[in-house]
Structure 1
Amino acid sequence: MLGDSLSYPLNSDDRIATILIGGLLSVLGVLVIPAFVIQGYLVRVLRGAAKGEPAAPSFTDWGDLIVDGIKLFVVNLAYGLLIAIPMAVFSFALFVPVSVSSNGGSPQPSAAVGIVAVVGGLLLLVFALLVAYVLPAAMTNFAVEDSLGAAFDFSTIWSGATTSEYFVGWVLAIVVGVVGGLVGSALSVVLVGIFVLFYVQVVSYYLFGRGFTEGLSEKRRAAAETNV
């Protein structure tokens, strides 16, 4: 899987143009529209990886890329709120007793609040990591089904995310992202880094898409054989 992912962006006939465009659009992402184009392209990467396509897609039909990019932004925003809202509520719930205690209340509530803060913080951290783990699966399901609703089809998403194929793909994507990100950041001094970072992003999304699809397909195949 790793070897295929590393060669995936280089297999297309217009690989140089694609990487150049992707890198330049990444730099122009602050202008919003280029960011949506990049996001839309990554949707195509997820879709292509899920279909088993050997080469990365090209930057064509930019209108469709922008639409898909906006949809992917909505998906990321929704999952981000799944983390942000509980954190905000939890922080506010702690703020009131801490304020009362600091204004002359007894020390016992402060100790209790401290324990709740630690336990609650750990639970929120675990939940945030779980959302981060599941999010690429949701993005892939959205890309494959070409439907925003598919990004919230939690039954299918969880089924694909709880497979060894997806876990391996997810871990590899994170490792590639971290290592490649460090290399790309270092090379940004000579401008080459922006293209390396785009390449790394494509590789990571390929791993997400392929891992999810292969895992889900294998699980469905096993279930079908069991029911025969």
Structure 2
Amino acid sequence: MSQISDAVTYPTEHDDWVKTILIGGVLSAFGFLLLPLLPVYGYIVRVIRHTLEEDPRPPTFGDWEELVVDGAKAVVVGVVYMLVPGIVGAIAVGGSIVAIATGTRSATAAGLAGLAVGALLTVVLSLVFGYVAVAAVVAFADERRVGAAFDVGILKPVVLSGEYATAWALSIAVFLAAGVLVGVLNGIPILGAVVGAFVFFYAQVVAARLWAGGYTDARTRAGGLNSPDVGGSAV
């Protein structure tokens, strides 16, 4: 499949790709401090923009202020979209724990059932809102304004398209593969955890390439479908 093969090799299509992966991996390794993740997310936004602009080469790290600002904006977009799953999960888990804490048999049974249903609902909502959130981040990168991330007119044709859905599904497969690889590497003390940060950064770049490609294909198709009398004869 050309789409996935292009995305997998994309991070290496630059003379300074090793340096870029090293910087991204180191920043990701210190992600527990939170602040280092902002330029990483900013770089992902930059990857999206390069892809949307049809630049075959990945960007490099540089103009750190722009990276941090774009990364912060991307985080805000993601947090806003994930508020609903977070609130539903908190209510479901909190209510179930209260019911279980009463100690009665019926309340405990109801609490456990509620906990299971709440967890399942939270997972489903997280997938749905996460699916839209990714498209929203791409829209922000494309339009260079946060408002675009919440513009229904921009997002609707994208999230309902097969092109974007396919790209998103492929990105999930990439993250799963990265997770399996990191799991294997974790068998090597210390080294596994360090290398894992670089693997996940690489996977993020591959995913960003896929998201931007799916977004572009969806917008192009929607534009073609909305064009009046394309290929038709004039009366």
Shift of 1:68: 0.7
Work out whether residues 89 and 118 of structure 2, in 8 Å CA contact, stay in contact via their aligned partners in 1.
no
Sequence identity of aligned pairs in percent?
Answer: 35
Work out whether residues 19 and 198 of structure 1, in 8 Å CA contact, stay in contact via their aligned partners in 2.
yes
TM norm structure 2: 0.81
Shift of 1:226: 5.2
Give the number of equivalent residue pairs.
224
Structure 1 residues 57, 185: closer, same or farther in 2, change over 3 A?
farther
Q: How does 1:141-220 map to 2 (within 5 A)?
A: 141-187=139-185, 189=188, 190=191, 191-220=194-223
Q: Greater helix share, 1 or 2?
A: 1
Structure 1 residues 115, 219: closer, same or farther in 2, change over 3 A?
same
Q: Does 1:22 align with 2:24?
A: yes
Structure 1 residues 155, 126: closer, same or farther in 2, change over 3 A?
farther
Q: Counterpart amino acid of 1:13?
A: D
RMSD of aligned Cα (Å): 2.8
Q: Following the alignment from structure 2 to structure 1, what is the Cα–Cα distance between the partners of residues 76 and 87?
A: 16
Unaligned 5+ segments in structure 1 are none
Work out whether residues 95 and 111 of structure 2, in 8 Å CA contact, stay in contact via their aligned partners in 1.
no
Q: Counterpart amino acid of 1:85?
A: I
Shift of 1:92: 5.0
Q: Counterpart amino acid of 1:154?
A: V
Q: Following the alignment from structure 2 to structure 1, what is the Cα–Cα distance between the partners of residues 73 and 164?
A: 23
Structure 1 residues 113, 197: closer, same or farther in 2, change over 3 A?
closer
Shift of 1:164: 1.1
Question: Which deviations, in whole Å up to 9, do the C-alpha atoms of 1:163-193 show, x marking residues without a partner?
Answer: 1111111111111111123224433644444
Shift of 1:39: 0.9
TM norm structure 1: 0.84
